[in-house]
A and B are shown apart, each in its own frame.
Chain A
Amino acid sequence: MATAREIAEAAERRDIRQRWLLSAPALVVIFFAGIGPLAIMVVYSFLEKSGYGGVVWKFSTAGWESVFFQRDIFDDTLQFADAHLSIFWRSVKLSVITTFLTLIFGFPTAFFIATRPERTRDLWLFLITIPFWTNLLIRTFAIQEVIRNEGIANTVLIKLGIISQPIQMMFTDFAIMLGMTYVFLPLMVLPLYASLEKLDFRLVEAGYDLYANRFQVLRRIIIPLVKPGIIAGSILVFIPCLGAYVTPRVLGGGKNLMIGNLIELQFGQGRNWPLGAALSITLLIIVVAALLVYVRQASKSGQRHG
């Protein structure tokens, strides 16, 4: 005879088995799409490069060393790899500026949409998402068409007599920022809109009623209340910016590399897979570290405000 306790234990075992079975598909996806590739990267970064691409299965820290250092060709000493570090630095700098620019342009846009009558909001949101329908590469080439020396912007300015020589915009950091701001703007607008749409505009009225002018209402009431949207939008823009590949490649030319291009170079022409893998992991660490700092900072200041 099975006692009540045995029956309960059997039921619990069955329950646990069922839970594992049900979560199996998700676990498989997480393993093969997430943990697996990441593990391969980690392993490859500690192997030796093979002359024709690929890796030799022998432990080596050469990949990691060359992320940060370069061996002097004459006396064989290690020096800081200025080239890599400056590319990292440029990537972070451009990403921060781009995130800031999308915030500056995205906030008024999202505010405008959120304050439209309910019926027309969907139309505006729809318009915001239209660029997503076109391939990124084509959109980037379109920007090139606008800013190249014989492009629309320069032609118009010359015809108007404002400038006599075309302004060099292509292959500059400006071109990269312009391209990335354009491409990632919707990723900022949408979460901002989601936050602004939930904003209780009676609080804005209460702010005006209590002698706050427009700027004070924005700074003291609206921004603190839509902070979750600002954080989400910034994360959504900053991360893909940091790893951007197409935009800097097309608009930045060969000189203005970003991390994404540097990594691609190692797996392509450079034929240095361990270095590429190590660079990728470094990028990952930068992103995670930046996020941790940002989110912690943002939530801390949120608490201080009230």
Chain B
Amino acid sequence: MPEVDKADRRPAIEAKNVSKVFQGAAQDRVTALDAVSVTIRENEFFTLLGPSGCGKTTLLRLIAGFDFPTEGEILLYGEDIAPLPPHKRPVNTVFQSYALFPHMTVGQNIGFGLEMLGKSKAETAARVDQMLKLVQMQELKNRRTSQISGGQQQRVALARALAPHPKVLLLDEPLSALDYKLRKEMQIELKRLQHETGITFIFVTQDQEEALTMSDRIAVMSRGKILQIGSPREIYDRPAERFVANFIGETNFLEGDTVSTQADRAMVRLPGGATVDAGLPQGLKPSGKVTVVVRPEHADIVKAGQPATLAGALSNIVYFGTDTHFHVALDTGGEFIVRHQNSRGNESAFAVGEKVGIAFEPDAAQVLRD
């Protein structure tokens, strides 16, 4: 299966210790990227995820060639692309604002890159038609870009960037301007396009859900650094840092004491006395106090008296349609949230104020690096 293959593929983009400092007066100096290293493999859907200002767009612009790194190097298939201006890099960008040329038609926009590469008229026309078909926009070929909807503009921007067969496609928050439903559609569409074209996608977003659903691998960024790189599952189930755990999904944080450690696991004593077997981030050998995270859906709520890891009183029950959140005030202080998926006939047997226990699923706990 592709998941296995992709790990062996050769690197498409390698960033080695890349830093970017925006010069200015002393107080204006901004370190947008701080010694970032990452390898993005061929044919991978790679996502840079982080809040605004974390440096993800800066990294994208360095790869595109709009900015130049202060330090470090960026390799494209093993070749340093630092000396190349953007128009000589076999890399295309889908801009956040789409940046479609308003004085050209849809077809002219899509053909622009090919025309600049000196392709013949016939070849350009054929490729434009092919791209229009790929994004299902054939009938809008001769429209002005101002005469089509946001979602259609998005498709044109994609087709325009894909038309010249780039080795890597950069996508700078391309879905952020679309409404929820269209965004969902385009997520699937993008995934399909990536699959069909076999082009390496580097996707920048601050939407964790988008990142989880679309990516082969995700790099979570904050303040100019990459905090963790991994598959969506790894990032979600095994966050290595507090920021990652917090930024992606909902999490319960528990303070505990290390009892013993093995290669990649540790026994941690939680407040209240129970001991859990928790996963460790790579290379971490904890001792003493540690923070443990547990996702709300990796724990279950049980009646008092039954075997449980934690104990408390039910303080709130929130119904969400697909699932229900149980807020538990722990006896040792703090709050723990349990998410329970709803199904017909399992209406809650619990009442607010009731004493309850919280049982962890096996392997639910994960130790953080900080």
Q: A279-304 vs B: 1/0 string, CB under 8 Å?
A: 00000000000000000000000100
Docked-complex contact A210 and B105, CB < 8 angstroms: no
Give the Cβ gap from A305 to chain B, nearest Cβ, in Å: 5
CB distance from B359 to the nearest CB of A (A): 53
- Counting chain B CB atoms within 10 Å of each CB, the highest count among A205, A302, A305 belongs to A205
**Which A residues touch B108, using CB under 8 A?**
306
Q: Which of B85, B88, B93, B164 contacts A206 (CB 8 A)?
A: B93
Beta-carbon contact of B113 and A211 below 8 Å: yes
B101 near A209 (CB under 8 angstroms)? no
Interface size on B, residues (CB 8 A): 28
A209-B92, A216-B116 are contacts. A203–B101 as well, Cβ < 8 Å?
Answer: yes
A225–B86 touching, CB < 8 Å: no
Residue contact B103 to A213, C-beta cutoff 8 Å: no
- The answer to whether the Cβ of B352 comes within 8 Å of any Cβ in the partner chain is no
CA gap between A224 and B93 in the complex, in Å: 22
Across chains A and B, the number of contacting residue pairs, with CB separation under 8 Å, is: 68
User: In the complex, which residues 101-127 of chain B have their Cβ closer than 8 Å to any Cβ of chain A?
Assistant: 101-105, 108, 112-113, 116-117
Q: Do B101 and A306 touch (CB < 8 A)?
A: yes
Q: Evaluate contact between A211 and B103: CB separation under 8 angstroms.
A: no
B117 touches A211 (CB 8 A): yes
- Whether A202 sits at the interface, judged by CB under 8 Å, is yes
Of residues 56 through 95 on chain B, the ones whose CB sits less than 8 Å from some CB of chain A are 64-66, 85-88, 91-93, 95
Q: Kindly state the separation between the CA atoms of A221 and B100 in the bound complex, as whole angstroms.
A: 11
Interface residues of A in 199-234 (CB under 8 A from B): 200, 202-203, 205-213, 216, 220-221, 224-225
Contact of A210 with B103 in the complex, beta carbons under 8 Å: no
Given contacts A212-B116, A306-B108, contact A206 B103 (CB under 8 A): no
Flag whether B167 is at the interface (Cβ < 8 A): no
Report if B97 contacts A (CB, 8 A).
yes
User: Is B160 interfacial (CB-CB < 8 Å)?
Assistant: yes
Instruction: State whether A212 touches B103 (Cβ < 8 A).
Output: no
Is there contact, CB below 8 Å, between B102 and A210? no
A210 touches B113 (CB 8 A): yes
**Complex interface bits, B275-294 against A, C-beta within 8 A gives 1, otherwise 0:** 00000000000000000000
Q: Is there a chain A Cβ closer than 8 Å to B304's Cβ?
A: no
Q: How far is the CA of A254 from the CA of B86 in the complex (A)?
A: 56
What are the residues of chain B within 8 A of A225 when measuring CB–CB? 102-103
Contact of A306 among B104, B113, B116, B160 (CB under 8 A): B104
A211 and B64 within 8 A (CB): no
Q: Counting CB contacts under 8 A, is B369 at the interface?
A: no
Query: Residue of A at shortest CB range from B97?
Result: A202
B274: Cβ under 8 A from any A Cβ: no
Report the bound CA distance from A302 to B103 in whole Å: 8
Return the contact of A209 from the options B93, B100, B103, B144 (Cβ within 8 A): B93
From B99, B105, B164, contact of A203 by CB (8 A): B99
Given A225-B103, A305-B103, A208 contacting B117 (CB threshold 8 A): no
Pick the residue among A208, A220, A224, A306 that contacts B87 (CB under 8 A).
Answer: A208
Q: Point out the residues of chain A lying under 8 angstroms from B102, CB to CB.
A: 203, 225, 306
In the complex, what's the smallest C-beta–C-beta distance from A303 to chain B, in angstroms? 9
The residues of B that contact A212 with a CB separation of less than 8 Å are 87, 112, 116
Given A203-B101, A224-B103, A306-B101, are A210 and B85 neighbors across the interface (CB < 8 Å)? Answer: no
- The reply to whether B116 and A209 contact each other, CB–CB distance below 8 Å, is no
Closest residue to B102 on the A side, CB-wise? A225
Which residues of B139-179 are within 8 A (CB) of A? Answer: 144, 160-161, 164
In the assembled complex, the Cα of A216 lies from the Cα of B102 at a distance in Å of 16
Known: A208-B85, A211-B87. A305 touches B104 (CB 8 A): yes
Nearest chain A CB to B136 CB, angstrom units: 22
The answer to whether A211 and B164 have CB atoms under 8 Å apart is yes
- B91, B101, B108: which has the most chain A beta carbons within 10 Å? B101
Q: Say yes or no: B99 contacts A306, CB within 8 Å.
A: no
Given the interface pairs A210-B116, A210-B164, the reply to whether A202 lies near B87 with Cβ below 8 Å is: no
Query: Which partner residue on chain A sits nearest B92 by CB separation?
Result: A209
Distance (Å) between the CB of A254 and the closest chain B CB?
48
Given A209-B92, A210-B116: A221 in contact with B87 (beta carbons within 8 A): no
CA distance A270 to B104 in the complex (A): 55
Q: Does B66 contact A210, Cβ atoms closer than 8 Å?
A: no
Interfacial chain A residues near B95, Cβ < 8 Å = 202, 205-206
Report which residue of A210, A225, A302, A305 has the largest number of chain B beta carbons within 10 angstroms of its beta carbon: A210
Q: Could you give 11 example pairs across A and B, Cβ below 8 Å?
A: A206-B95, A207-B101, A208-B85, A208-B86, A210-B112, A211-B88, A211-B117, A211-B164, A212-B112, A220-B112, A306-B144
Known pairs A205-B95, A207-B112; list 14 more (Cβ under 8 Å).
Answer: A205-B99, A206-B95, A209-B86, A209-B93, A209-B161, A210-B164, A211-B117, A211-B164, A212-B87, A212-B112, A213-B116, A305-B103, A305-B104, A306-B101
Binding site for A on B (CB under 8 A): 64-66, 85-88, 91-93, 95, 97, 99-105, 108, 112-113, 116-117, 144, 160-161, 164
**Which residues from chain A sit less than 8 Å from chain B, CB to CB?**
200, 202-203, 205-213, 216, 220-221, 224-225, 302, 305-306
